[in-house]
Structure 1
Amino acid sequence: MMLPIADPAAPPPAPTRWYRHLYLQVLVAILAGVLLGHFAPATGEAMKPIGDAFIKLVKMIIAPVIFLTIVTGIAGMRDLASVGRVAGKAFAYFLFFSTLALFVGMAVANLVRPGAGLNIDPATLDASKVADYAAKAHESTLTGFLTGIIPDTFLSSLTEGNILQVLFVSILFGVSLALIGDRGARMLDLLEDASIVFFKLVSIVMKAAPLGAFGAMAFTIGKYGVGTLANLAALVGTFYLTSFLFVAVILGTVARLAGFSIFRLIAYLKAELLLVLGTSSSESALPSLIEKMEQAGCPKSIVGLVVPTGYSFNLDGTNIYMTLAALFIAQATGVHLSFGEQMLLLSVAMLSSKGAAGVTGAGFITLAATLSIVPSVPVAGMALILGVDRFMSECRSLTNFIGNAVATVVVSRWEGALDAERLDAALRGKPTVTG
């Protein structure tokens, strides 16, 4: 729900005690998880169910939150032409920046060459370690992706956890509700009341975020160990630096052109970003992102379309990772790729990233799909990076999350529907809601 700017004459709300801030609690939980995983690896691994349980809690509410946000947003607009216009602008944005991310990853891999000099014989690699990912990649065809958007039943879209299916039925239902006009007013009122209940449920679930971040981080460090990073420090460091520069320079420029600071936006979303870091999953903060972007002055109808769609189509971090990791494997195994072969690799990556949209662990799966189609680079080479993929998935998720937040503000600005006063207040940490 769009919430009003606070009355400047009203007394300021009581300050929240420092230890009650969610971002601080999550940060402490992450540090505790790292320490436990490092000094007691077996115990750290045993914390996995805690992290998994929190992510399941969040996924439990993702479908209804998306459904209610999109349906009430579209039905409340009544102008269906604007829905198509928003979707068109969002997809144009996604296509441009996701493609740019692929080019950035390829350019950095050629410039830094993190895999050069390893001289690994592909025949010595254990292909069985990545067999499951390769099998999933073959299942993730473009045709399968397109048909998979349509759920078996209306209700199954809300129970199976496929974001694209939820998006599909939500748009259809919202359009239908808008078309019947005043006869749907009671239904719209009911759904708007339900959305208030579910966002309150989101706030309740998020109180468990520190536990989820603790369990997930303790498992990651306990199972894989910080020491595994040393073997592939060049790749991991290059990926993190590239992602940082993409966010700070490219997305930062986009943000400035749209009239806001990327760093203020990051500070505004700090609790969600820490949660994404701790759980290695951007989905864990999806409901909170929807709520916060509405509070920051983006219309519900635009937030409802851009955020869920972006989670499948605007994967900047994943795309940087795909070309960078593919060229790292080629360099490490002594495979020389011509410019033409690299462009083929990039083209295949563009398609495969869409084919695996919405698939859990999409980064590694889409990489397998890409390499299976480009025979020059051995798929078995993925075994080289399997041990550090968990650490890189955190950076992928963070970059994807920030990219979708920026996209939401930009599309709102393009539509002339952004409340600039509310956005400025939110990014500066001023109160934006009453009571």
Structure 2
Amino acid sequence: MINLKKLYAFALNPWVVIASLAAGFLLGMYMPALGLRLGFVGDVYVDLLKMIALPFMVSAVIFSLQRLFREGGAGGLMARVAIVFAVFSVVVALLGALTLLVMKPGENLSTETMQTFGRIVGNDLNSSDTIMSLQGVDAPVKSVNFTEVLVSLVPSNIFAALANGDTLKALVFALLFGFAVGQVPSRVSDGLTQSLETIYHSCQTLMRWLNYPLPIILFCMSAAQMAKTGLGPLQAMAQFVLAFFVASMLALVIATLIIWKRSNSTFGQTLDALRGPFALALATRSSATCMPIMIESLADRLGFARSRVELMVPLSVSLLRIGPVIYYVAATVFVAQLYGKPLGITELAVVLSASILAGFASAGMTGLLTVSLVGLTCSYLGLPFEAAFILFLAVDPICDMLRTLVLVIGNNAAVSLICPRPLKI
């Protein structure tokens, strides 16, 4: 008989994850036709996860808020949330800027690398069927002001928001509805609470089932991605990818240390608890789909208060966008270095502020839309992002993995600071 616990642990083992990715990249490199045919496996898997994510988030937030109001202390908790979210956003933005300023990936590039940049950009500009041509060259630099962001938060139709996968609008509805339900007498609201809790636990169970085939999914997804892009774009943007990788690893180390210190667990127990979120973030590149396993790692594995964790994880995933923030800072500084624009204290302050705003605006976005918001930060410095857009798009599958990892593990760290420390395990 198959031991499901051992199978689950094997599927989420970091070495198995890395081996699956490496094997997929090799297949996509040497057998691209087969790699492309395997792409549908990843598409189906991610769609299944997205199917679960929104019902899970809405049910978790509403009944967690209701429970929070009954227990008391909501005002103090929200103040702590605001402070932690602000500090985390500023710290990761500074980390990204310092890493790029020290490593200087956009300066002193070789002639061969610059020629590769020119070929990639030239091919894109001369093509009639690229994503950039379909969207129009002005799309990446479209500015986003605070009023537009504020208006975009409010769902005029919650069912349309759910159908379209608008995570941020669904979260606003869940928060407002949860606050209202918290004021309703328990004898009236208990039936709704039990129904929502049933949905919540059912989504968690579905998510756990979908983790079992993870190594196969990773193999297929990485093979398809390598078959599509090849090594050319990665080689041309290697220095930027390396710098962003270093900044992301520093953020992950800091986040892991925070979780370790806050959890009162051993370092080994902390790493073991983070295996699931780490593997799923790599596999799906979707922070929303990682929410159930993030809650499981903090509440079940590390002992944080479930009532707080169930509320804070969806809230942080939607509002604390530290993965995109560090990416936008790194990308903007890289473009500035590429075009030889010096960055003083004022310019850096503008980059940090614009990147935090762009990170907030990126909630619910993936791929092309996430990359396009680099144009928002570049526009404040007068940098031409149109030509560089296709370069970032070419290596975005790798950057997207790092963004999601930083967001998932970093948000777990933020939640561990917000929630009361658990007793020693």
Q: What range describes the TM-score normalised by the shorter chain of this pair?
A: 0.7 to 0.9
Partner residue, 1:389: 396
Contact 2:259 2:416 in 1 (8 A): no
Alignment partner of 1:22 is 2:11: yes
Select which of 218, 227, 234 maps to 1:229: 234
1:104, CA displacement in angstroms? 1.4
Partner residue, 2:416: 409
Select which of 237, 240, 243 maps to 1:238: 243
Partner residue, 1:11: none
Contact 2:277 2:293 in 1 (8 A): yes
Alignment partner of 1:349 is 2:340: no
Distance change in 2, residues 1:281/1:225 (3 Å): farther
Q: How does 1:125-140 map to 2 (within 5 A)?
A: 125-126=121-122, 128=125, 130=132, 132=135, 135=139, 138=142, 140=144
1:81, CA displacement in angstroms? 5.6
Give the Cα–Cα distance (whole angstroms) in 2 for the partners of residues 64 and 378 of structure 1: 37
**Structure 1 runs not aligned, ≥5 long:** 1-13, 425-435
Counterpart code for 2:414: A
TM-score normalised to structure 2 length:
0.84
Give the Cα–Cα distance (whole angstroms) in 2 for the partners of residues 211 and 140 of structure 1: 40
1:165, CA displacement in angstroms? 1.9
Counterpart code for 1:371: C
Query: How many corresponding residue pairs?
Result: 405
Deviations along 1:114-160, one digit per CA (max 9) or x if unpaired, are: 11113859998457565648516627543333222222323334332
Counterpart code for 1:44: G
Give the Cα–Cα distance (whole angstroms) in 2 for the partners of residues 265 and 20 of structure 1: 15
Partner residue, 1:339: 345
Alignment partner of 1:304 is 2:295: no
Contact 1:276 1:398 in 2 (8 A): yes
Distance change in 2, residues 1:142/1:353 (3 Å): farther
Distance change in 2, residues 1:247/1:263 (3 Å): farther
Partner residue, 1:203: 208
Distance change in 2, residues 1:82/1:180 (3 Å): same
Counterpart code for 1:167: L
Select which of 414, 420, 426 maps to 2:423: 420
RMSD: 3.0
Distance change in 2, residues 1:339/1:198 (3 Å): closer
Select which of 158, 181, 184 maps to 1:177: 181
TM-score normalised to structure 1 length:
0.82
Contact 2:320 2:360 in 1 (8 A): no
Deviates more, 1:246-255 or 1:178-187: 246-255
Partner residue, 2:379: 372
Partner residue, 1:8: none
Give the Cα–Cα distance (whole angstroms) in 2 for the partners of residues 16 and 80 of structure 1: 35
Distance change in 2, residues 1:62/1:347 (3 Å): same
Give the Cα–Cα distance (whole angstroms) in 1 for the partners of residues 262 and 384 of structure 2: 39
Alignment partner of 1:287 is 2:278: no
Partner residue, 1:427: none
Give the Cα–Cα distance (whole angstroms) in 2 for the partners of residues 347 and 173 of structure 1: 31
Contact 1:213 1:275 in 2 (8 A): no
1:31, CA displacement in angstroms? 3.7
1:172, CA displacement in angstroms? 2.4
1:325, CA displacement in angstroms? 1.8
Distance change in 2, residues 1:70/1:375 (3 Å): same
Select which of 113, 117, 139 maps to 2:104: 113
Give the Cα–Cα distance (whole angstroms) in 1 for the partners of residues 390 and 62 of structure 2: 44
Give the Cα–Cα distance (whole angstroms) in 1 for the partners of residues 363 and 246 of structure 2: 25
Distance change in 2, residues 1:88/1:47 (3 Å): farther
